[in-house]
Structure 1
Amino acid sequence: MATQSPHNGASETCDLLIVNGHVLTMDEKRTVYPDGAVAISGRKIVAVGPRRAIEAAWKAGRKIDAQGGVVHPGFIDGHYHAGLHLSRGSITDNPNPPKDEGGAGPGVFTRWINAVEDEDEYASALMASAELVRNGFTGFVDAATSFFPDLVAEAAGAVGIRCSVTDCMLWDHLGEGEPMAADIPRAPCSFDRSLKAMGGQLKRNTDEDALARGHVAIYGCGSASDELMRAAKTLADREGVVIHQHQSLMVSDAGYDAKRFGKPALVHFAEEGLIGENSVFTHMNILSPEEVEAVSASGMALVWHPGNFMYYAISQTGRSAFPGLHKRGTSIGLGTDIAKAWAFGDLGIIAYLVSREWGDYLPSESILEMFTLGGARALGLESQVGSIEAGKRADIVIRSNDLPDAQPNVNVVKQLMLVSRTKAVDTVMCNGEIVVRHGRLVKLDEAEIYRLARRSAERTAARAGIKPKSNWPLVT
């Protein structure tokens, strides 16, 4: 419901009114205001409701007319390797390439990671942040492979969006699960090193207004002992933050965990008290029925990458558990991982089609929940973002209807999730500040970001010994 003025009908003042919008609140009831308005003061939403009620109750020095366009909470990417964003194009899009293309899978990404320097990580995170916000995202979770998390936070802040950063590649177990754990000299596979580094970014959480926050993470995918997992879970519990890790991406690492534990990994983790409501696991492509039960019972959240599920042909091994887990009430966000064969926002349509492959049906409304509420849970800020409600932060996106992909728009959520997707972003507000207006960044020169990105990608590829290859002749 709209917030009403307590002053005998006299209007209250706010900083900004967004009016004439089709407002998808994503509140508990999923209330929609087809002719809606949002009142914002400072960093927070103070009222949302029908336009006539909000305009009668609130006056502002500034007003934005959404012109009938969709107004929704900012999307949040639940798992992204911001420092690897610029690897796309240099690393082949062939998952099984010949040797002259440098190899694929973990091996080629290991080479790229080892070649990244501080200025490259900054340029990569800056480009990722710019692309995210231009596509309607107001935050992301950095996925535990950044050597310089301070620079990732700085880059996101320069663009004006939220991020949660963590410590780099915490692992202590070498085996058949994650081969990369043996090949990153700057992040040796060591319990002592990991324990010492753990929680280094939680210092950010003392400022509740900060765009950059910290979370706990270990790398996962067979690279951690129970002791390391327990230390991370204990720290996250004590500090009241989420704990992330990769898990069960491929048949190989899921099989390795099952072999070393003598049972499926998630069953083991549940029995040992290593998962709970603050746990956020990414990938989870290979799950037994017993693991589905363990996940559901634990109250944990998941981040889904249906693109990788298809890209690495994991879909050939069996049915995705995510549609079923969603129906059971598990919180699910979407995480782009590395934008190597898709862009931010593409995972919604991929999730829809992955579900259809086995006859499941993922409604458009569920996809929007994953991008907003599920992303907020993965960020650990579900009490502050993910919906348009009084008291929450003003992380808001306004879309334009002025393009063919937004027509005929008789089903607004379906049109948004499956057709227009990341197109038509006109205005993005994060923490009460407008950071995209009329489809362009407000705080930075986009051309300069692109220049830095191209130079960094070329330098990193050269250091990694990766030469981008064209299948067609280049004539100069």
Structure 2
Amino acid sequence: MLYIHATIITVNPSREIITDGAILVRGNLIEDIGKADILLQKYPDEEVTNLTDRIIIPGLVNAHMHTAQTLLRGAADDLELVSWLCERIWVMQGNFTPGDGYAAAMISCVEMLKSGTTCFLESMFADRYGFDGLCKAVEETGIRGCLGKIVMDVGTYASDPKWAMHPGLIEDRETSLLGAVKMHENWNGAANDRIRVWFGARTPGGVSDDLYKEMSTISREKSIPITMHCAEVAADRSFFSSLGHTPMSYCRSVNLLSPSTTLVHMVHLDSSDISALAETKTNVVHCPSSNAKLASGLCRVPDLLSAGVNVTLGTDGAPCNNTCDMMQEMRLAAILHKPKSEYHEAEPTLLPAETVLEMATFNGAKALQLDHVIGSLEKGKKADFCVVDMRHVALRPWYSAVSAVVYTAQARDVEMVVCDGKEVVRKGKVVGIDEDSVWREAERRGLEIVKRSGLKGKVEGKWPIR
């Protein structure tokens, strides 16, 4: 297929924007890219899709996502973290079945595709959710998934007994670590290499030092990347301090810091932590919506970027964001850091639109060890891209294509998504998927989970319902 007459934001090494551009896709690769008139002359016999008045960007990379939690969207709003986790989220997740896990994965993948995400990193998929079902959902929807199987052996948060996990979520070394290795053997490289299997380690305090070290050793031996929440809330910082560590000195002590590790949230950092991240080329995921909604704090993204740390973006789960929409996440990331903070004066030039789009595309691909195949639109790379339809009153006029995408466009403006060379979204609908069936099944199962968890009457909000 030859896609023509679009404005193409390539995010290539020169950061070129091609006006009246075209992309030739053959198989799952970008065969050629350039001016439309030139490609039309070179390939006169190719089937053509006219994308006049559209902007094409690389497929968005959601570098932190909890697919299971999409069934819990809106079930724990306006709560602080302890109540959010211990009284709502863990209780409901501890009552999941594999069928619930599959339904959650399906609605998550469909929502991400419809909002322009072509690749995501699942952070911590528990054994009880049914890892095979998660992989099946990735296969069926056509998205690209890096899937973190949970690794843990301690049933509390930050070693605090009052933050005990629901018994249904507790796993041991054999189920979690060795189970992740087994899933890597079974699924890594499946679905035409759209599936990669990761270690999804629980937060420090939920994993013993010995298990972290064992996981880190296996990670290097078998090339299994690691993702982990870290330094998200003040309690995390207190936990590290109780051990005589800063967040990154602890992670270094258990061999976690490396280019194949992606650490999430990273709100409560010292300057020494930022230096350690830069030195070890460890990746960081910024989740602005989640951090703001749970009042976790503000990640020092400008300082991390200035130090040379690879920083990308993630939505986190639906109970602490309420959407899986990376378009919305880009806009908030670009705006959130400009006001005065404890680290800098008010500065409207911080995190410009270009930087944020890099974070959501190429930086995400780099964190996921996939920048050699996705993250930018170049000859020879995988054909993963998103088409934004600019033919709407809310989007016109526009002058900078990058600013239009980051500050103005929304998920509803995504018209087409191509992943691995296939049109997986066409005219705003996911191809080959009955979306009504997907959301109805998710709705049914979500209500059943609330009932099994004994939370009926507690998740419906504060105002009386007649």
TM-score w.r.t. length of structure 1: 0.89
Question: The residue matched to 1:263 in structure 2 has which SS?
Answer: coil
Aligned counterpart, 1:70: 55
Evaluate the alpha carbon distance shift between residue 369 and residue 43 of structure 1 in structure 2; reply closer, same or farther with a 3 A threshold: same
Aligned counterpart, 1:293: 275
Aligned counterpart, 2:144: 162
Aligned counterpart, 2:165: 183
Out of 247, 256, 271, the position equivalent to 1:265 is 247
Aligned counterpart, 1:464: 453
Evaluate the alpha carbon distance shift between residue 397 and residue 192 of structure 1 in structure 2; reply closer, same or farther with a 3 A threshold: closer
Q: Does 1:329 align with 2:293?
A: no
Counterpart CA distance in 2 for 1:106 and 1:424 is 37
Alignment of 1:4-23 (within 5 A): 16-23=1-8
Out of 430, 444, 447, the position equivalent to 1:455 is 444
Deviations 1:278-324 (A, max 9, x none): 11011111101111111111101111111222122233xxx531121
Counterpart CA distance in 2 for 1:397 and 1:194 is 35
Q: Does 1:115 align with 2:98?
A: no
Aligned counterpart, 1:25: 10
Structure 1 residue 240: Cα displacement: 2.7
Instruction: Number of aligned residue pairs: give it.
Output: 451
Q: Does 1:338 align with 2:317?
A: yes
Evaluate the alpha carbon distance shift between residue 195 and residue 442 of structure 1 in structure 2; reply closer, same or farther with a 3 A threshold: closer
Alignment of 1:16-165 (within 5 A): 16-89=1-74, 91-96=75-80, 103-147=83-127, 148-165=130-147
Q: Does 1:205 align with 2:192?
A: no
Opposite residue 321 of structure 1, the aligned amino acid is R
Deviations 1:263-285 (A, max 9, x none): 20202333554311111011111
Q: Is the CA contact (8 Å cut-off) linking 1:80 and 1:336 kept in structure 2?
A: yes
Question: The residue matched to 2:391 in structure 1 has which SS?
Answer: coil
Evaluate the alpha carbon distance shift between residue 211 and residue 259 of structure 1 in structure 2; reply closer, same or farther with a 3 A threshold: same
Deviations 1:307-348 (A, max 9, x none): 222122233xxx531121123322112111112344212222
Structure 1 residue 167: Cα displacement: 2.0
Evaluate the alpha carbon distance shift between residue 117 and residue 193 of structure 1 in structure 2; reply closer, same or farther with a 3 A threshold: closer
Deviations 1:140-185 (A, max 9, x none): 1111133312111211222211112232342347563576985343
Counterpart CA distance in 2 for 1:288 and 1:113 is 33
Deviations 1:18-39 (A, max 9, x none): 1101001111111110111111
Question: The residue matched to 1:276 in structure 2 has which SS?
Answer: coil
Evaluate the alpha carbon distance shift between residue 174 and residue 31 of structure 1 in structure 2; reply closer, same or farther with a 3 A threshold: same
Structure 2 spans left out of the alignment, 5+ residues: none
Alignment of 1:312-461 (within 5 A): 312-315=294-297, 320-340=299-319, 341-343=321-323, 344-345=325-326, 346-357=328-339, 358=341, 359-360=346-347, 361-461=350-450
Opposite residue 79 of structure 2, the aligned amino acid is P
Aligned counterpart, 1:239: 222
Structure 1 residue 410: Cα displacement: 0.8
Q: Is the CA contact (8 Å cut-off) linking 1:277 and 1:300 kept in structure 2?
A: yes
Structure 1 spans left out of the alignment, 5+ residues: 1-15
Evaluate the alpha carbon distance shift between residue 201 and residue 191 of structure 1 in structure 2; reply closer, same or farther with a 3 A threshold: closer
Counterpart CA distance in 1 for 2:180 and 2:435 is 35
Q: Is the CA contact (8 Å cut-off) linking 2:28 and 2:421 kept in structure 1?
A: yes
Report the identity percentage. 23
Counterpart CA distance in 1 for 2:78 and 2:461 is 12
TM-score w.r.t. length of structure 2: 0.91
Q: Is the CA contact (8 Å cut-off) linking 1:166 and 1:201 kept in structure 2?
A: no
Q: Is the CA contact (8 Å cut-off) linking 1:17 and 1:60 kept in structure 2?
A: no
Consecutive aligned runs of 4 or more in structure 1 exceeding 3 Å deviation:
171-182, 184-195, 470-475
Structure 1 residue 255: Cα displacement: 1.5
Question: The residue matched to 2:188 in structure 1 has which SS?
Answer: helix
User: Once structures 1 and 2 are overlaid, which stretch shifts more, 176-185 or 457-466?
Assistant: 176-185
Question: The residue matched to 1:281 in structure 2 has which SS?
Answer: strand
Counterpart CA distance in 2 for 1:226 and 1:208 is 34
Question: The residue matched to 1:104 in structure 2 has which SS?
Answer: helix
Structure 1 residue 201: Cα displacement: 2.5
Evaluate the alpha carbon distance shift between residue 37 and residue 452 of structure 1 in structure 2; reply closer, same or farther with a 3 A threshold: same
Evaluate the alpha carbon distance shift between residue 27 and residue 92 of structure 1 in structure 2; reply closer, same or farther with a 3 A threshold: same
Structure 1 residue 62: Cα displacement: 2.0
Counterpart CA distance in 2 for 1:323 and 1:342 is 26
